[in-house]
Amino acid sequence: MTALRLDIIRLGVRTRRAGETLALVDAVDLTLQAGEVLALVGASGSGKSLTCAAALDVLPPGTWREGGTVALEGVTRTGAELRGRHVATILQNPRSAFNPVRTMRAHAEETLRALGVERARWDGLVASALSDAGLADGSAGEAERILSLHPFEMSGGMLQRMMIALALLTGAPFLFADEPTTDLDLVVQREILDLLDRLKASRGLGILLVTHDMGVVARLADRVAVMEAGRIVETGPVMDLFHRPSHSATRRLVHAHLSLYGLEPAS
């Protein structure tokens, strides 16, 4: 059986500076399959986050999508059709994603209401999502405790898990994870990466992992796409890119990663 596939095809993002139109993302092609992790890597400013935002039609002010399509199983979809139904998103700074005066229960109920899920299913879906995200042990009491909390009562790691739980509530087969461990300490980073790995296996999620951290790539990714100056310059299986990088941008990323540990890259 062929895995569900999401294709980003010839995607472009533009902006205007000093009266000139500039390409921030240029003709990007990516394919993500359910049950795999595709790491989108590159230096800061290379266009990684803009690519994800453009695919879902949530670009920041002053930028716009120019050209390109996003297709689910060969059928072109708009960002509005994809967001929250076929593609869920988790962000770099989870604290900024939550309304500080609303409880976790309110956030979960808002998600389910927006998706049109019948009320009778809410409790079961929320309990399952919290358990799968490692926030509750399956007991009703623990789930109730988590759901009663406000964002300021939770650590960064708990909030990232809660964001993952909200993504699971959607039932979306694909997850865009934009630098999901950057603001977390090393122990929590490892726990979040382990969690994403388990969800890939247990739920068959296809994860587009945006990162500049090659350690995260080595830990989680199946395939890698390297961006430089808004273009994809190299793609391949993760071990191929670590051991046989062909583009200078990839070699720089690998070299920088290995040098942190006093290691010499393969010649």
Please, what are the domains in the chain? Answer: 1-86+175-267 (3.40.50.300), 99-171 (no CATH)
Q: What is the dihedral of CA 192, 195, 197, 201, to 10 degrees?
A: -160
Please, is 129 exposed, middle or buried when counting C-beta atoms within 10 Å of its C-beta (0-12, 13-18, 19+)? buried
Please give the span between the terminal C-alpha atoms of the chain, in angstroms, as a whole number: 40
Q: What is the pLDDT of residues 33-59, one digit of tens each?
A: 999 999 999 988 899 999 999 999 999
Contact 172, 111 (CB under 8 A): no
**pLDDT in the model for residue 94:** 81
222: how many CB neighbours lie within 10 A of its CB?
A: 17
Q: Average pLDDT for residues 164-173, to the nearest whole number? A: 94
Specify the DSSP element, H or E, that contains 255. helix 248-259
**pLDDT in the model for residue 167:** 94
- Residue with the larger pLDDT of the pair 224 and 257: 224
Instruction: Please tell me the distance from the alpha carbon of residue 90 to that of residue 52, in angstroms, as a whole number.
Output: 11
**pLDDT in the model for residue 91:** 82
Q: What is the pLDDT of residues 115-168, one digit of tens each?
A: 899 999 999 999 999 999 999 876 667 889 999 999 999 998 999 999 999 999
